[in-house]
Amino acid sequence: MALKVAVLASGRGTDFQSIVDGVEKGEVEAEIALMLTNKPDAGAIERAKKHGIPYVVLLHDKGKSDDGYYAAVDAELAKRKVELVVLAGWMKYIRSGRFLRKWQGKMINIHNSLLPEFPGAHAQEDAFKAGAKVSGYTIHFVDESLDGGPVIYQESVDIGGCKSADEVAARILEREHVGLPKIVDSFAKGKYEIKGKKASYKRTG
């Protein structure tokens, strides 16, 4: 049975699209059971509509705590019996310890730098301003730290010739679209073991 995946996305949804494409091509053994966004104008919504994927827009009311918000997220995941949560451009730091504990080892994030270098929301700009010749992306488990969970996979990207932060972003994003579907598929075919800050993988299928 295909792995049930939920994608949380706040923006254009291009990483989300890469998983959709992988599923539709038969390269990712998964079912995208839900796309959830916190932005009513997120581009990911149109992508979900186009491919017939269930989606939910869940706004964070100012008076609601993080625990309250993520309890609502968790309820949506439970409805669809989700097994893996993928944060793909989810621009909302998760501060709910209850949610993090429940999804420990079952929630991953893709970040556009080679962590621990350039964490946070402006990684490509930071890499460009720092004059970095090589950057890349990291896929990691989500924990209570900011972009600090156990690393699953990293790929380096040559950015030495880039003339702007936008060019850095585009070059890295192109490679993200190759790597992310493969890692989602790996969860359907094996199991990750986390010890401290290290993650190891064993194929079972």
Confirm whether 51 is a catalytic residue.
Answer: no
Q: Which one is catalytic: 51, 60, 111, 122? A: 111
CA distance 47 to 16: 8
Closest CA to 83 of 109, 54, 106: 106
Distance (Å, rounded) from C-alpha 26 to C-alpha 23? 5
DSSP state, residue 143 = -
Alpha-carbon span 27 to 16, nearest angstrom: 15
Residue 101 in tokens: 């504990």
8 A C-beta contact, residue 4 and residue 162? no
Query: Of 121, 77, 91, which is closest to residue 10 (Cα–Cα)?
Result: 91
* φ, ψ dihedrals at 88, nearest 5°: -125, 90
d(CA 170, CA 144): 28
Amino acid identity of residue 82, one-letter, is V
Which sequence positions are flagged as catalytic?
111
